[in-house]
Amino acid sequence: MALLAVLFILLIATKFPVWVLFLGALTTAMTFGLASPEALLKGFSNIGVLSVAVLFMVAYGMYSTGAIIIIVDTFMGFPLTLNQTLIRILFPIGAGSAFLNNTPLIAMMIPVVRDITRTLGLSASKIYIPLSFASILGGATTLIGTSTNLIIAGLVTDYLVLEGAGEHSLQEIGMFTSTPVAAPTAIIGILFIILTVSRLLPEKTDQTNGKPASKRLYEAKFIVEKSERISGKTLKEAGFARPIGFEIKNIERPETGDLTITDELRLMEGDIITFWTDSDTLPHLWSKIGLRTANQTFELSSDRHLHHLVEVIVSPRNPAVGKTISQIHSEKTSVFGGNLVAISRGGKPVESVNEGTVVRQGDNAILEVQDTFFYENRNERWFKLIRRLRGFHIKRTDRAAVATIITACMIVTVALQWFPLINAALLAVFAMLLTGCMNIRQAIKSIDIQTIIILACAIGLESALTQTGLSGAIAATIESAGGTDPYLALTAIFIGAIIMTNIITNPAAAAFMFPIAISLAADIDVSPMPFVIVLMLGCSYAFINPAGYQTNIMVFEPGGYSTRDYIRTGLPLTILVGALTLLLTPVYFPFAG
């Protein structure tokens, strides 16, 4: 009890990383002998935890190929208002979270939503919390949608191996075990979010239309490629009508020359668009499907999806100083170490960059480079203050269909129970590696190690809870609150799960509450299945505290939120989904099962 109390306080009152606190709690439990080292470390071999790690890699394969962006665009089209945006994002995200673990899915969607809010001029704070909540609701509908379901499924499997099904049948958690209860709850919950939650959120934005005056501006030219994403669409349909962080200065069509810029101007393959943009927005343009930089003079040896963007200052010793762009190109060697994407001088764009533009020392430039650039310029001889613009890569769209098919096959094989989830996910990872959807380094880096440590430690601490008898004592307390009435007991488990998951994160709450739910069902001699289902959903529905669920933490900073925002929006949603869960669970999972 003391260990848990200290953990709760530190989670709420300090800014220590959550994974450090959980690892510290596990170390303390081991030091004081609250459970055996083998039991405390079992989370690091738990099949649910390992499944989450593998699903991170599958999700990255979908992102690196642009498959997830293409799918989102297919469902979204081009919304014009906040309500249209929420409808077109939240329902697909809810559905997608059911089949792709919601934690990596939200990781993929954060930059997508950022682009959407930039394009439409909307407040990101109106979208990020609804995005997280919708992914939580959708993720709870299937086994693979959320780490909570995977953790509890692993605990059920472990329990059946050790104890057996018992007099009242405890069943293995399948792909769609929670769906009859969670799916209608998710639909009603998302409608409630669209109608109510977004209106309770404050409008927080520091963005202004047009070019931001406080940032260094660059001029960059991009060519429209043959792509359904941009080619054949109007500026409005392509998302360029309300620019934020950039400004379109000119559009040139090789056959006809400069075009008049209007919202209804239809872009064609080969059009050259000149942007004035800051270094924060430029990577979004560079990695946008359907655009490529106009300057591809030097053939870099690696594929474009492996290239990087760097921001540099031209050193006086750079051989490009004093030469025109034309002279640099004619020398057939890249004195920049890569291709010039954009250039700025004195904080302002170098207007009308062309073959006659002279490079000067002190110019700021953004370059497209390959890995060897960082070794060749390690001494900063040609450039000063080299800064890599991280988090952006060219999407390998030629592999998007392959990644989508691989992910769909994984889902189908798990749904039909041909393979266990972890087996199907590992096959999907190797298939993506073999087909070039991602490489080994990208796959390894995609795993969120901190999340995996939190999950594993939570599983281990459950052993301390059980072996010290604390879970039995808590079960007795809940039983006294619920009596012998199964409906009251079920309500007590749900409330306990909600409280725990909003204090110590959902995987920890699932691990702590599982033995309590099983013990309570046995004490009142009813089937444990309704208690397991309610526990799965109660531990997933963490809407009140940002620290209660990983996706809430992930959108906290991008949305500029405070804990009060989560309480104001999450409390009414929790009451609604709680009532639906307690109403539907006994219908599909009777107490006498």
Q: Quote the pLDDT of residue 475.
A: 62
Q: Quote the pLDDT of residue 47.
A: 79
Amino acid at 95: A
Q: What percent of the chain has pLDDT over 90?
A: 14
Nearest to 361 by CA among 311, 312, 310, 322: 322
Amino acid at 162: L
Strand-pairing partners, residue 252, are 258, 272
Q: Quote the pLDDT of residue 136.
A: 93
- Residue 376 — φ and ψ, nearest 5°? -65, -30
Indicate whether this model's pTM tops 0.75: no
Q: What percent of the chain has pLDDT over 70?
A: 84
The CATH class of the 217-279+290-389 domain is alpha beta
234: left (phi over 0), alpha (psi -120 to 50) or beta: beta
Q: Quote the pLDDT of residue 482.
A: 60
Which tops the pLDDT comparison, 103 or 435? 435
How many whole angstroms from its chain centre is CA 187? Answer: 21
Nearest to 282 by CA among 362, 364, 205, 389: 389
Nearest to 304 by CA among 397, 213, 221: 397
Q: Quote the pLDDT of residue 570.
A: 92
DSSP letter, residue 448: -
Q: Quote the pLDDT of residue 426.
A: 92
Amino acid at 14: T
* pLDDT interval class at 87 (50, 70, 90): confident
Q: Where are the domains of the chain?
A: 26-203+411-588, 217-279+290-389
**DSSP string for 11-77:** HHH--S-HHHHHHHHHHHHHHTTSS-HHHHTGGGG-HHHHHHHHHHHHHHHHHHTTHHHHHHHHHH-
What does the alpha-carbon distance between residue 400 and residue 408 come to, in Å, rounded to a whole number?
Answer: 12
Strand-pairing partners, residue 368, are 309, 339
Q: How many CB atoms lie within 10 A of CB 369?
A: 24
Q: Quote the pLDDT of residue 331.
A: 60
What does the alpha-carbon distance between residue 384 and residue 355 come to, in Å, rounded to a whole number?
Answer: 24
What does the alpha-carbon distance between residue 75 and residue 90 come to, in Å, rounded to a whole number?
Answer: 10
Q: Quote the pLDDT of residue 213.
A: 41
Dihedral, 300, 306, 311, 315 alpha carbons, nearest 10: -40
Q: What is the mean pLDDT of residues 443-471?
A: 80
CA angle 570, 26, 146 (to 5 degrees): 40
Structure-token pair, residue 315: 């050193």
What does the alpha-carbon distance between residue 57 and residue 139 come to, in Å, rounded to a whole number?
Answer: 18
Up-side HSE of residue 458: CA atoms within 13 Å toward CB? 32
Q: Quote the pLDDT of residue 208.
A: 39
What does the alpha-carbon distance between residue 556 and residue 164 come to, in Å, rounded to a whole number?
Answer: 42
Q: Is the pLDDT of residue 532 over 80?
A: yes
Strand-pairing partners, residue 253, are 257
DSSP letter, residue 197: I
Q: How many CB atoms lie within 10 A of CB 81?
A: 10
CA angle 565, 106, 455 (to 5 degrees): 90
Q: Which helix (H) or strand (E) holds 139?
A: helix 128-139
Q: Quote the pLDDT of residue 137.
A: 94
332: left (phi over 0), alpha (psi -120 to 50) or beta: left
Amino acid at 110: I
* pLDDT interval class at 166 (50, 70, 90): low
43, 460 contact by CB (below 8 A): yes
Q: What is the mean pLDDT of residues 75-103?
A: 78
Q: Quote the pLDDT of residue 465.
A: 76
140, 541 contact by CB (below 8 A): yes
Q: Quote the pLDDT of residue 547.
A: 64
DSSP letter, residue 357: P
Q: Quote the pLDDT of residue 189.
A: 95
Highest mean pLDDT among 107-121, 367-381, 408-422: 408-422
Dihedral, 217, 221, 223, 224 alpha carbons, nearest 10: 30
* pLDDT interval class at 144 (50, 70, 90): confident
**DSSP string for 500-545:** HHHHH-HHHHHHHHHHHHHHHHHHTTS-SHHHHHHHHHHHH---S-
Q: What is the mean pLDDT of residues 77-105?
A: 79
Q: At what angle do helices 563-588 and 128-139 cross, to 10 degrees?
A: 20
Q: What is the mean pLDDT of the chain?
A: 80
Q: Quote the pLDDT of residue 214.
A: 46
* pLDDT interval class at 207 (50, 70, 90): very low
* pLDDT interval class at 441 (50, 70, 90): confident
**Residue 254: Cβ-neighbour burial (10 angstroms; 0-12, 13-18, 19+):** exposed
Residues near 323 by Cβ (< 8 Å), separated by ≥ 6? 358, 359
- List the single range of 204-208, 318-322, 560-564 with lowest mean pLDDT: 204-208
486, 523 contact by CB (below 8 A): no
* pLDDT interval class at 522 (50, 70, 90): confident
406, 435 contact by CB (below 8 A): yes
Q: Quote the pLDDT of residue 301.
A: 60
Q: Quote the pLDDT of residue 200.
A: 86
Q: What is the mean pLDDT of residues 527-535?
A: 92
Q: Which helix (H) or strand (E) holds 383?
A: strand 383-389
Q: Which helix (H) or strand (E) holds 206?
A: none
Nearest to 26 by CA among 44, 12, 13: 44
Cα–Cα distances in angstroms (integers) from residue 513 to residues 175, 231, 467, in the given order: 22, 53, 14
Q: Is the pLDDT of residue 541 over 50?
A: yes
Q: Quote the pLDDT of residue 212.
A: 41
pLDDT digits (tens, 9 = 90+) for 559-591: 878 778 888 899 999 999 999 999 999 999 998
* pLDDT interval class at 164 (50, 70, 90): low
| Residue tagged 């995005």 (tokens) | 131
pLDDT digits (tens, 9 = 90+) for 355-390: 667 788 888 888 887 777 776 666 666 777 677 776
Structure-token pair, residue 545: 């505290």
- List the single range of 463-472, 477-486, 544-553 with lowest mean pLDDT: 477-486
123, 117 contact by CB (below 8 A): yes
